[in-house]
Structure 1
């Protein structure tokens, strides 16, 4: 039957009445559906196979095709292929799903950086910032803030270690222990990558890159374990060491893997000990804080004793039932936001207060809400006074650590190592 006509089969008639779509291939000349079955006895062609989709199927249908597979396999049926536009599928996903699909975000770890790297960061920021005299040339404030932010971000990319933070698997490792796990993970990845190296030049290049980054981090954590690094081959003389051993590349690579596994065992043991120490110290600190709150802050004591988890609601889909006969499911962020605003603006209804203006209030409350006839203008002086560099220093020194940065991507810790020229620029920018 033609897709636009009413079918005779009861099942097909039901699907047709429910507005299901028959994804058939139409013959270009006759505009009738192409056959999908050839009888092995009579050789007659008919349409026996179908693909139907619901009218609520979210993916747009592009075209369908029918292929005769007689030359490939022994069958009476043709192959029906329906093509869909799955590129539009992401528009129908919830924002929470789309956020998880973003595998990771890049951050620059201030806490694992050395003192030399922090000093280099401060020097680079000072060199990248424009002169303070440029603030009085009529440059827009947004442009000046962008220059300040770009200087900090550019300097951090050059001097701080780069870290990829997973969005689907949040990190539960404390900041104090992440240098240990990062060191262990880098060693594990290098040991695994040894299998892919087929020449001594590849091994020398990879070992040189790894050892240059691994050695400083290892000595920062284990300054008394230099003997473990001395047992490893020197990257500079790796070719001479390989020739002197008279081993094949596979045997030399296996020998290097054995040495690295011993180092990996040492790291695993030390990481376990550090985690146990941190766990014990955290428990003692939590007990001491709870005991202190019992006497000084009853509210915090009750909250911590109940052990309630903080929860939040993620509004990633909304069912609009203004018209009960045709409810609508919203998944686009803009539509959800508009529907939520409309709902909360109208859910309460108009005010039931009998007073529609200040003049209709009783005399007692009219005096309360009447504007002041006179006030001391000096009340605004502390607020309008320019910010000094010393005040900025004090605020920065009191800022908390290990907090997630805001939209600027600049954490508090970066401000604490800024040079005086950068702080002067920031102070002028604020004023």
Structure 2
């Protein structure tokens, strides 16, 4: 199958070829014809599957003909939960629309609003936005939706998790009733289906990945370790492995800052990225990471879906997430586009329930590997949930974030961690014998 066979125009085929792509991914093969047909679409696809191009390419083709956006108007609105993801989508719009006479702009919180208002005066055929900043601009009459033809909700499940449901409802209330709706989500949870009832009309439903599974290209491993010794173990793994690039997840913003400082003191180039950082600082940290000026990017879950990094070799869960589905999204940042990747989790005894929840959700046991010199005083239970049926994809209720753009992607409250011990000896990996019981038959 080729992009030409999907019905894309020559300018779009050329733009795709310029990027070195000749065969569409499964989500692209199904979504592009569905969007071009004018039908509403409801698609489940995880990060790294090519879903952004799956809606960007047909959207550009649909808008190529027709009246251009007038002042302060937009013809297509793409809503997304985080600033990083918004910037990534805008980059894709520019890249694939380079041979078309279409305009686009991106708006999000954390930066001055006036330049965004000035950009919207010219009109934008495609507007990429986070919900909070979009409402601010609408309330100031900087944008209207009189010409709107298409609405895209990307990472819809993440927007619900981050407390944007009221913002989304307010935005939907002011949009024209006659429009095409495209909803993309990692899963079709009950909450997503409830949202879809008031959004899509007789949609084409697409699902290209099994629910709550991890990519087969990602090797997963758990290093049991006492909590206070996690920083020292991570530093040793980085030094001994000669890691040039790794994305490390912490549960809190305070934890991200503290770990970054520790790594810097141990001659490891690191930077932190989270909701309390200014947009300029976050953009600079990501740019330095991609350019190789920074080896380790320490992030809270704001980065789990918003970062687009090619060939990322490894992801580290310094802290396990307390929501099992977030583990799937975190490690989805590696092993993309068929490349191999590694996901390492540093797990202390107090995270045993989180680990059990992850193994229950993914129906697989994750290999435990103790590192010599870092054997934990308190043992982590051995895969007690791996033989059970997968958990429901519905999530526990969690507090909603405030609506303004500066609050997007905030992690949970900071905790005071005990001081790290950096005096441990150099580790070597020692594998524990597996328990004599059958493994789950579910695919990795």
Task: Please indicate the TM-score interval, normalised by the length of the shorter structure.
Answer: under 0.3
* Higher relative strand content: 2
* Higher relative helix content: 1
After TM superposition, the score normalised by the length of structure 2 is 0.18
| CA radius of gyration, larger in | 1
After TM superposition, the score normalised by the length of structure 1 is 0.18
